[in-house]
A and B are shown apart, each in its own frame.
Chain A
Amino acid sequence: DQQVKQNSPSLSVQEGRISILNCDYTNSMFDYFLWYKKYPAEGPTFLISISSIKDKNEDGRFTVFLNKSAKHLSLHIVPSQPGDSAVYFCAASAPSNTGKLIFGQGTTLQVKP
C-alpha cells in the first residue's frame, strides 16, 4: 500500500522555465511533508519542507504547495537550472510515526540547457 505516490517517473523542462513536481498521499494523519533531492551515487539531501498548518513554503527558487483537501503537494522550481537535474523524492510523516518518513517513488527531473 503506497501511502505516498509520485505518479510521474520523469520530467523534462527547459532551462529558465518552471519545473512542477507532484506528490499525492493517502494518509490524512500525515502532518509534515518534505522534499529531498538526490544526485546519482550520492545520498538524498533535504530541500524544503512544509507543515500541515501551512499551504505554502518558499525558499529561494523552491516553493512547496500543500492542498490538504486533495491530499496533494507540489514542488515548484523557478527558474529551473541544469544543476537541478536530479531525482526528487517527496516524504511524509505523522505524529505517530515517531521519526519515520514515508517516501514516494521519486521523479527524475532533467533540465535542458
Chain B
Amino acid sequence: DVKVTQSSRYLVKRTGEKVFLECVQDMDHENMFWYRQDPGLGLRLIYFSYDVKMKEKGDIPEGYSVSREKKERFSLILESASTNQTSMYLCASSSLAGGPDTQYFGPGTRLTVL
C-alpha cells in the first residue's frame, strides 16, 4: 500500500511566523503535490513537483514556497503565515508509470493561524 505521511495533524501558529509542513511518501513516486481544502472550494493546488529539485506553481501559489531535495520528501513553506492561510493542507503523490494519474493522499494537516 502507498503510504503518504504528513509531519503534523494539527498545527497552531501566530501571524508572521514561518511554517514548515513536511510530506513523505514511501512508494518512489515521481510526482508530489500540495493542496489546500476549504469548505465550498474543494481541493486547490498550491504547488507540485515532478522530480527532485523541480517545482511548478499550481493555482494558488501566492504566500507559499516548496522544497524537494529528496524524491520521497516534499515540503510546503509559509514564509510569513497569515490568518487567511488557516486551512486543511493535503499532500499527495502519484507515479508517472503505469498510466492514469491516481493520486494518493496523506492524512492532512489542519493549520490554524492566529
Assess the B42–A43 pair: CB atoms within 8 A: no
Q: Which residues of B contact A43 (CB under 8 A)?
A: 4, 90, 92, 105-108
Assess the A99–B105 pair: CB atoms within 8 A: no
Task: Give, as a whole number of angstroms, the nearest-CB distance from A50 to chain B.
Answer: 10
The reply on A28 being an interface residue by CB < 8 A is no
**Top 3 closest A-B pairs, CB basis?**
A43-B105, A105-B42, A103-B43
Q: Which residues of A contact B45 (CB under 8 A)?
A: 100
Task: Give, as a whole number of angstroms, the nearest-CB distance from B41 to chain A.
Answer: 6
Is the interface on chain A under 10, 10 to 19, 20 to 34, or 35 or more residues? 20 to 34
The reply on A45 being an interface residue by CB < 8 A is yes
Q: Which residues of A contact B55 (CB under 8 A)?
A: none
Measuring CB to CB, which residues of chain B are less than 8 angstroms from any residue of chain A? Answer: 4, 9, 30-31, 33, 35, 40-45, 48, 50, 58, 90, 92, 94, 96, 100-108, 110
Enumerate A13-65 residues with CB–CB distance to B below 8 Å. Answer: 32, 34, 36, 41-46, 49, 51
Partner of A93, one of B41, B90, B96, B100: B100
Assess the A45–B105 pair: CB atoms within 8 A: yes
Q: Which residues of B contact A99 (CB under 8 A)?
A: 30-31, 48, 50, 94, 96, 101, 103
Task: Give, as a whole number of angstroms, the nearest-CB distance from B21 to chain A.
Answer: 13
- Which residue of chain A has its CB nearest to the CB of B4? A43
